[in-house]
């Protein structure tokens, strides 16, 4: 089997805190009294037990910071996190930085120019002729179009490529006075920080990227938003999102598998982006998956939270490290648009 192959994965996670400590130590007292009972229920039912923060609200309150101040901190925190993830992915793939022909970076939680792609290229010692791509503001599904882009490069050029997804959602805690509606409470109960990198090579051992597929329902574009405000980026998250997934996810997955002569019964690994417990419940029901098939996705939500774009790669790495890794993996991620992305990964013999 020949084609763009995921040959290495590297993860970097900031310090973690328990969901209970985050609730009692920060969010409870920053909510209006009238919203505390609702907030406590949302935090308790989020499916999250621990999650990471580069800028922990238990140590530092950024809720009234300007967007400029948050962006300056983004660069300070994202650089070492990205460097760690990339270095681990290269080690896992047994490659050096000189083997990389293309470097792509996904992030929706911070912007700097020169960007992470340039600054990390410099600090990691990439060749000046390394091609670079920055994928911004796609949200939680960005890893999959990112994989598609680097996979196309690898297939066309016959050289290895590197994808980094780095998100610092902790920088976007919102002001308690004006910003805590129900959607904000849900967002603050779920989101977490992480960086994940993958090395994609032309053949070799690993998981062949068989295909990346997508569907976007533009009629529901207002149901998931990520707005740039004077006080950071603000999440809009409609409770109707699971209903949109309900309409599209089965067709997306079945059509993807059918193009490769497969059905859901042939898939032994599922990496489903845990946008929240309701999202996972809808996918489980619509695809007729078992509790065991959803276990890696739910465990990632419990242990790491929703880290936006790196999350599906965290689940992939969890599956790769099983005693018996799956032979066929379907990844699924969802985000603004409202967009659903899927990929099919096939393990090499």
CB 6 within 8 A of CB 209: yes
Give the class (CATH, top level) of 207-347: alpha beta
Confidence of residue 176 (pLDDT cuts 50, 70, 90): low
Provide the percentage of residues in the chain whose pLDDT is more than 90: 91
Domains 4-202 and 207-347 share a fold: yes
Cα–Cα distances (Å) from 282 to 204, 275, 285, 295, 336, in that order, read: 36, 11, 5, 14, 18
pLDDT of residue 33: 87
Cβ 155 vs Cβ 136: under 8 Å = no
Distance in angstroms (rounded) separating the CA atoms of residues 90 and 88: 5
What's the CA gap between 215 and 17, in Å, rounded? 35
pTM of the predicted structure, to 2 decimals: 0.96
Residues contacting residue 99 through CB under 8 Å, at least 6 positions apart: 159, 160
299-331 per-position pLDDT tens digit: 999 999 999 999 999 999 999 999 999 999 999
Q: Six-digit token pair at 153?
A: 């490069």
Q: What is the CATH number of domain 4-202?
A: 3.40.47.10
Work out the average pLDDT over 106-134: 96
* % of the chain surpassing 70 pLDDT: 98
The domain limits of the chain are 4-202, 207-347
C-alpha 274: how far from chain center: 9
- Give the confidence band of 180 by pLDDT, cuts at 50, 70, 90: low
- Residue-wise pLDDT for 266-299, tens only, equals 999 999 999 999 999 999 999 999 999 999 999 9
Residue 177: is its pLDDT beyond 60? no
Helices 311-320, 143-157: axis angle to 10 degrees equals 70
């Amino acid at each position: 089997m020949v084609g763009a192959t995921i040959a290495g994965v590297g993860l970097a996670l900031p310090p973690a805190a328990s969901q209970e400590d985050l609730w009692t130590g920060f969010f409870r007292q920053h909510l209006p009294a009238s919203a505390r009972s609702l907030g406590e229920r949302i935090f308790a039912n989020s499916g999250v037990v621990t999650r990471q923060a580069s800028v922990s609200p238990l140590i530092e309150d950024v809720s009234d910071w300007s967007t400029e101040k948050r962006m300056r901190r983004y660069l300070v925190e994202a650089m070492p996190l990205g460097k760690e993830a990339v270095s681990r992915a290269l080690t896992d793939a047994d490659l050096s930085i000189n083997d990389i022909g293309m470097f792509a970076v996904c992030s929706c939680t911070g912007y700097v120019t020169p960007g992470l792609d340039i600054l990390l290229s410099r600090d990691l010692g990439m060749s000046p002729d390394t091609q670079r791509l920055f994928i911004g503001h796609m949200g939680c599904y960005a890893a999959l179009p990112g994989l598609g882009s680097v996979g196309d490069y690898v297939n066309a050029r016959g050289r290895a490529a590197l994808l980094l997804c780095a998100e610092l959602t902790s920088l976007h805690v919102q002001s308690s006075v004006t910003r805590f509606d129900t959607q904000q409470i849900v967002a603050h109960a779920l989101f977490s920080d992480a960086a994940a990198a993958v090395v994609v090579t032309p053949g070799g051992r690993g998981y062949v990227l068989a295909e990346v597929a997508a569907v976007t329902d533009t009629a529901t574009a207002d149901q998931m938003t990520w707005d740039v405000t004077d006080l950071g980026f603000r999440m809009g998250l409609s409770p109707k999102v699971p209903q949109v997934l309900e309409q599209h996810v089965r067709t997306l997955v079945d059509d993807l598998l059918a193009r490769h002569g497969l059905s859901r019964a042939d898939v032994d690994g599922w990496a489903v982006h845990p946008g929240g417990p309701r999202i996972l419940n809808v996918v489980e029901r619509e695809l007729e998956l078992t509790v065991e098939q959803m276990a890696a996705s739910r465990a990632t939500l419990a242990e790491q939270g929703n880290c936006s774009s790196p999350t599906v790669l965290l689940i992939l790495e969890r599956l790769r490290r099983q005693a018996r890794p799956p032979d066929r993996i379907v990844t699924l991620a969802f985000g603004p648009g409202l967009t659903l992305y899927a990929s099919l990964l096939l393990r090499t013999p």
